[in-house]
């Protein structure tokens, strides 16, 4: 009798899983294949509702409607550091929706190496052992090479110190990353790409009188990027420059009062350039005679 009950239970669970699979189509993808340690590792989850009715995905009685499994290349599980519960989602009949989740919010993926991950989405009423599982996706975490770093205090605080780092990362092309660490608390506050870097011309970096980091680098053959990052790791300003009159090369300067700016340059606004291109495109579409 117990044997029959066990068979019935397994059959029931399999039928439930098949039913869930038939009601939603689930796909997962990484936003990119390579990340730098402490950079936000983002996974896209795309769901399509094939149930013939709206579905309300919600967390009930400790059961999460979506969760993730992350493993290293040696198949060891990366255990959750923080229990994150995501907001409910309503998916209308036939609707397809993509949501982006940051794995660092739950998992420590700061160690370099190769990883795999997949998502589990549960239909209303399904328990921990149930749900629709996506295919595995793969990504790599690299360290990056710190080519510049500088420590500085945080204005308005006592004893707080930040270390600003510029990392050079190669992944088919060279990119410059900024990384800001809270030295006192041994915590990385931010790591992200500032853009492509044409490495045949050396970038320049310095701090201003507010202890913000300035960096000037060649991001396109004729365009320089001037990026300013504060002690929180936030980009507070980004401007673009071209060579100045007479073909002079832009460079950073620091005044006696500690203000940092760019000289030998002509300011370039990519948005205005795009607007001008659109106007030319629209004019080319006018009928003859107008």
For residues 156 and 252, membership in a common domain is answered with yes
Q: Which residue has the higher pLDDT, 285 or 46?
A: 46
What's the rounded mean pLDDT across residues 256-285?
A: 75
CATH of residue 52's domain is 2.60.40.2970
For residue 111, what are the domain limits?
Answer: 17-142
The answer to whether residue 1 sits within a structural domain is no
Residues 159 and 114 in one domain: no
Task: Please give the Cα distance from 77 to 87 (Å, whole number).
Answer: 25
pLDDT for the residue 289: 44
Name the DSSP class of 104. Answer: G
**Which DSSP string corresponds to 154-173?**
PTTSSS-EEEEEEEEEESSS
Structure tokens at 59: 């967390």
State the pTM of this model: 0.82
Using 50, 70 and 90 to split pLDDT, how confident is the model at 271? confident
Model pLDDT, residue 200 = 85
Q: What is the pLDDT of residues 174-228, one digit of tens each?
A: 999 999 999 999 999 999 999 999 988 999 999 999 999 999 999 999 999 999 9
Residues 110, 218, single domain; the answer is no
CB 42 within 8 A of CB 102: yes
Number of domains in the chain: 2
Q: Determine the average pLDDT of the residues in 118-136.
A: 92
Residue 288: predicted pLDDT: 47
Is there a single domain that holds both residue 236 and residue 188?
A: yes
Q: Does 31 share its domain with 109?
A: yes
Burial of 256 per CB tally in 10 Å (0-12, 13-18, 19+): exposed
pLDDT at 22: 62
Q: What does DSSP say about strands 213-220 and 223-229: parallel, antiparallel, or unpaired? A: antiparallel
The pLDDT of residue 63: 85
């Amino acid at each position: 009798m117990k044997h029959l009950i066990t068979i019935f239970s397994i059959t029931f669970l399999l039928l439930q899983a098949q039913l869930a699979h038939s009601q939603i189509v689930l796909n997962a993808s990484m936003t990119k294949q390579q990340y730098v340690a402490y950079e936000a590792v983002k996974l896209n989850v795309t769901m399509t509702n094939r149930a013939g009715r709206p579905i309300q995905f919600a967390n009930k009685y400790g059961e999460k409607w979506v969760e993730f499994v992350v493993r290293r290349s040696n198949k060891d599980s990366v255990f959750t550091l923080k229990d994150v519960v995501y907001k409910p989602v309503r998916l209308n009949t036939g609707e397809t929706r993509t949501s982006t989740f940051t794995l660092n919010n739950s998992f420590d993926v700061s160690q370099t190496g190769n990883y795999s991950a997949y998502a589990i989405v549960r239909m209303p009423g399904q328990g921990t052992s149930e749900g629709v599982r996506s295919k595995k996706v793969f990504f790599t975490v690299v360290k990056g090479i710190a080519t510049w770093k500088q420590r500085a205090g945080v204005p308005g605080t006592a004893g707080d110190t930040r270390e600003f780092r510029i990392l050079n990362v190669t992944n088919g092309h060279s990119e410059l990353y900024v990384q800001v660490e809270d030295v006192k608390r041994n915590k990385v506050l931010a790591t992200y790409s500032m853009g492509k870097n044409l490495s045949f011309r050396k970038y320049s970096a310095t701090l201003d009188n507010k202890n913000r980091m300035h960096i000037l680098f060649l991001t396109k053959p004729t365009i320089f990027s001037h990026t300013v990052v504060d002690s929180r790791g936030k980009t507070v300003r980004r401007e673009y420059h071209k060579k100045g009159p007479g073909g002079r090369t832009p460079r950073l300067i620091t005044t006696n009062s500690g203000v940092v700016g760019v000289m030998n340059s002509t300011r370039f606004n990519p948005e205005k350039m795009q607007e001008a291109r659109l106007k030319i495109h629209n004019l080319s579409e006018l009928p003859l005679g107008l």
